[in-house]
Structure 1
Amino acid sequence: MENGAKVDIQMFSPEKPAFDGAIPFLWLMAVGTVACASVWTFVVVGNEDKNSPSPGGDEAPESEIVELKTKTALVFIVTASLVLLFLFFFRSTWSAWLLVVLFCLGGLQGLHYVASTLTVRACEQCREAKVTLPALGNVAVVSLVIIPVALIFVVFWATHQSSPFAWVGQDLMGICMMILVLQVVHLPNIKVASALLISAFLYDIFWVFISPFIFKKSVMITVARGSDDGPSLPMVLKMPKEFDAWNGYDMIGFGDILFPGLLVAFSFR
């Protein structure tokens, strides 16, 4: 410096609050999703007769149920591990957008299912209102109204992911999608539940805590953060840290909700 003057530079680092206020809300969303999905058939759908039509068409909901088998645990470990490794080694904008597109498709189905079921529950006459369309046959009027609205919502979220309020749309689509998954996928017995949950537990432990010793980084955490120049991966519920000077989000993965949710829904049934 001129005239030999000394300048002291001090770095300011704000302290993180002792209590993260976003975590209780994230916990409520996760537990609430599982609770709603578990009682959905009995409370919202109304435990209807097996021959009754689903809100979106003529097919009975029971015909769409998929019962997991014991070998599903092994298939899950192998498939999920291969997908993780692929995303870890080939992290790019296109792979991130591919997951965003898949999430949007699942979110669209979830929004349609939840909204149509609630509409039919509130207005029983809406179930019978149908129109005949070329190549589609009989289509419920409620679906013709809800699907375009849900599609606009999904497209708007996909094009505004950088918005500070994008997490609201992501959480709404994620919750609806998980409710739909827990209606379609069922555990037949506690043996399958034990095999699946133990496999999922070992899967998480390995790819989060053990993988850094092999790949120099935690594979699951690296994949969850996404690439620097692409969108963040949407397969999580997230809540902003409003009282943290560092900002950021608290997150919980869909798998951490769905797998316990399968057991809770099985126990309730």
Structure 2
Amino acid sequence: MGKAVRIVTLSLVFLVSQINCQEAILHISSGARNKDYCIVYNQSWTPLSETLDAALQYPLVNLTSTTLCNSSGVSPDVVEGKAVVVLSGECNSSQKALVAQGLGATTLLIANNETLITPSANESDYAKVTIPLALMRYRDLLGAQQLFAEDMQVQLYAPPYSRIDPSIAVMLMIAIVTVVLGGLWSGACERDRLMSAAESGGLGENKPDSGELFLYSPMKVVFFVGLMCGMLVLMYFFYNILVYIIIVIFCLASASALYNCADAVMDKIGCGTLSFSIRNWTFSVRSLILAAVCVSIAAVWGVYRNEDRWIWILQDILGFAFCLNFMKTISLSNFKICVILLSLLLVYDVFFVFITPFFTKNGVSIMVQVALGPDASTEQTQGNLVVIPAEPQAPSEKLPVVMRVPRFSALAQNLCGMQFSILGYGDIIVPGLLVAYCSRFDVWINSSKKIYFVSCCIAYFLGLMVTFAVMLLSGLGQPALLYLVPFTLITSAVLAKCRGELRQFWAGTTYEVLDSSREPLLTEGRIDYSIEGAKC
């Protein structure tokens, strides 16, 4: 019985994960030559075969000299038993299909010079049309004529692709690795600071390292979140101007972050440094080489940022370094600050994703509009509607604020335009700041098993899994913080309560807080300054 239930459950998951897309493939062949092209169809109106082997092959008749709104001037002998391609315009798709069907055609292709939109008709026309109907780009037809001349055989098929795409696993791995490494790096830096304080006899014990920024005031956290809200609104209204400023800032910040990460790795593996002096200036050969490489990578991304086919690799590398460096540089001083910051950002995320569509003109949330750029309102797939440009268009600028991994299984979609799985930097950094705090707290209490750090990482992983599961089942993008924040905050709080350390966990760091008279609740007696560990 249990085995049967598992089989039924797996079958349901598999069926739910399959999508019958509105995009399909036009396979044209002539002799040994063949090529695939993007087409758009209505799967609820004229369904297509799912595989090329199952698709019937027909000769293609070029009737682009007519729009086929009526049968005048077209002989049934020319089109009977064949696929027909005609021009769009003058009448709707269903009328063209009925005329072609009446002449004995087996398939109708409508060549379009404008945007390809999923063909539709009145409900009464759906049952009348029995032949496959699809829209194709007119430029694709011209290219096929040059490649195959007039002897063309066509097959139409629409391979279903799974929502559970391998790109999701890659995205999950990137997020987890970033958060784990960021937390370990922050903990190593804290251990290094404590060891340095012990070696100096306690001098500077309560001072953060230079280059680190500690958030310890709730008012500063509120101001920070308010600033983020203001920036997002400004980006929505002045996107075309501010996007270039953000791109320049990202290039500089990511190059610096990549340098810091690479330099830390070099220190960890014990790579020596050669130095030379020029007029009282001392230069490190390693630093110069690393700086040149990091600046070059950022510059290449800046120049080719709109090249979808491969530039996503560089963007993810730079984003990975940016998130790591941010988690190491920005530190939350106690769990109270963690709760305030993560809760406010949760409200911020949900509001700008779910609430703002009710106020925008195009019904697209401000968060999506800013993250995806001006094309967000005409994304390829909007429910049952597909919108694809018929002609090449100048790429629109997009903010470099997301990790991007192409969908590996979307063959038809990549013909029509590359599809990506995305995850915002904020969905990594925000929970990552809590993970980093847990890692530092493990150092403060001398936890050899890193119990807080490991637990928070597991909670982050489970939160991401729930996020992706809801996204796959609903078919809609999700504000990841809606799931990540409760998972990580509740797990950390419950763990601290069960271990009897909630008071210390809430109070946090022993760093001096100049604008507060509160005495630190974390007892210094629990810190072992003799711990050996990685240097920051």
Same fold (TM over 0.5): yes
Q: Does 1:74 align with 2:222?
A: yes
Indicate the residue corresponding to 1:50 in structure 2. Answer: 196
Q: CA deviation at 1:13?
A: 5.7
Structure 2 unmatched runs, 5+:
1-70, 77-98, 102-107, 109-132, 135-156, 200-206, 376-394, 441-536
1:97 to partner: Cα distance? 2.1
Partner of 1:90: 238
The residue identity in structure 1 corresponding to 2:196 is: K
Q: Is the 8 A contact 2:186 2:327 kept in 1?
A: no
Q: 2:162 aligns with which of 7, 13, 17?
A: 17
Q: Secondary structure at the match of 1:230?
A: coil
Deviations 1:101-127 (A, max 9, x none): 11111110111101111112222542x
Deviation, structure 1 residue 62: 1.3
Residue 299 of structure 2: which of 125, 142, 155 is its match?
Answer: 155
CA distance in 1, matches of 2:367, 2:232: 7
Q: What letter is aligned with 2:266?
A: T
Corresponding letter in the other structure for 1:161 = R
- Deviation sequence 1:150-169 (CA, Å, 0-9, x none): 11111112112233110110
Task: Decide whether the 8 Å contact of 2:374 with 2:396 is kept in 1.
Answer: yes
SS in 2 for 1:239: strand
2:268 corresponds to 1:117: no
The answer on 1:184 being equivalent to 2:329 is: yes
Q: 1:99 to 1:134 in 2, by over 3 A?
A: farther
Query: Matches of 2:343 and 2:187 in 1, distance apart?
Result: 29
Output the CA distance in 2 between the equivalents of 1:44 and 1:124.
19
Corresponding letter in the other structure for 1:189: N
Q: How far, CA to CA, are the matches of 1:141 and 1:100 in structure 2?
A: 29
Instruction: For residues 205-237 of structure 1, give each alpha carbon's deviation from its aligned partner in whole angstroms, at most 9, with x where no partner exists.
Output: 000110011224310101111135532211111
CA separation of 1:42 and 1:215: change in aligned 2, threshold 3 A = closer
Please list every run of 5 or more consecutive structure 1 residues that lacks an aligned counterpart in the other structure.
Answer: 53-59
Q: Aligned-pair distance for 1:31? A: 1.1
Superposed displacement of residue 133, structure 1: 5.4
Say which is worse superposed, 73-82 or 24-33, in terms of deviation: 73-82
Q: Which has the higher contact order (CA 8 A, sep 6+)?
A: 1
Distance 1:42 1:81 in 2: 30
TM-score (norm 1): 0.86
* CA 1:44–1:29: 2 relative to 1, 3 Å: farther
Cα 1:230/1:44, change in 2 over 3 Å: same
Q: Give the Cα–Cα distance (whole angstroms) in 2 for the partners of residues 44 and 184 of structure 1.
A: 10
Q: 2:212 aligns with which of 57, 65, 77?
A: 65
Aligned position for 2:120: none
SS of aligned partner of 1:28: helix
Higher helix share: 1
Deviation for aligned residue 1:43: 6.1
Q: Which has the higher strand share?
A: 2
Q: Give % identity.
A: 25
> Taking structure 1 as reference, are residues 97 and 230 closer, same or farther at Cα in structure 2, changes over 3 Å only?
farther
Report if the CA contact (8 A) 1:107-1:154 is conserved.
yes
What is the match of residue 355 of structure 2? 210
Bigger radius of gyration among the two:
2
Aligned length: 258
Q: How does 1:193-232 map to 2 (within 5 A)?
A: 193-216=338-361, 217-227=364-374, 229-232=395-398
Cα distance, 1:134 vs. partner? 6.2
Question: Given the superposition, is the C-alpha separation of residues 187 and 133 from structure 1 closer, same or farther in structure 2, using an over 3 Å criterion?
Answer: farther
* Partner-residue secondary structure (3-state), 2:396: coil
CA distance in 2 between counterparts of 1:194 and 1:76 reads 14
